[in-house]
Amino acid sequence: MSIRKLIIFKSGSVPHNEQWYIQQVCSAIRLSPYQLEGAEIDIRYVSESSLNQPYVLGYASQSGFDISRCTLTPFNDADGGRGLVLKVLR
């Protein structure tokens, strides 16, 4: 299945170059450019307390996405921050 939208929820420091950061996260969770073709990609900065499954899925639901077509992948970055990647499938 292809990805419709990819949203990175990140806590910790804000990266100097968002595009580079998005590429690094996608590479770390093993998403290929082919999988991301045509996908809308966004990044949201959240507090550590908001970085959890109920918050992210609640965000997805309020944004009108079908939760049954969503997956979550956790990650840690080199700056000591952590996050969740929400993939909304077509």
CA angle 79, 76, 35 (to 5 degrees): 115
Question: What pTM did the predictor assign?
Answer: 0.91
How many angstroms separate the most distant Cα atoms in the chain?
34
Domain encompassing residue 50: 3-89
Q: Which two tokens stand for residue 63?
A: 């944004």
Question: Residue 86 pLDDT > 90, yes or no?
Answer: yes
Give the pLDDT of residue 79: 77
Please check the confidence at residue 13 and state whether its pLDDT lies above 70. Answer: yes
- Give me the pLDDT at residue 63, please: 96
CA distance 53 to 38: 25
28 to each of 11, 21, 55, 80, 83, how far by Cα in Å? 17, 10, 23, 14, 12
pLDDT at res. 18: 93
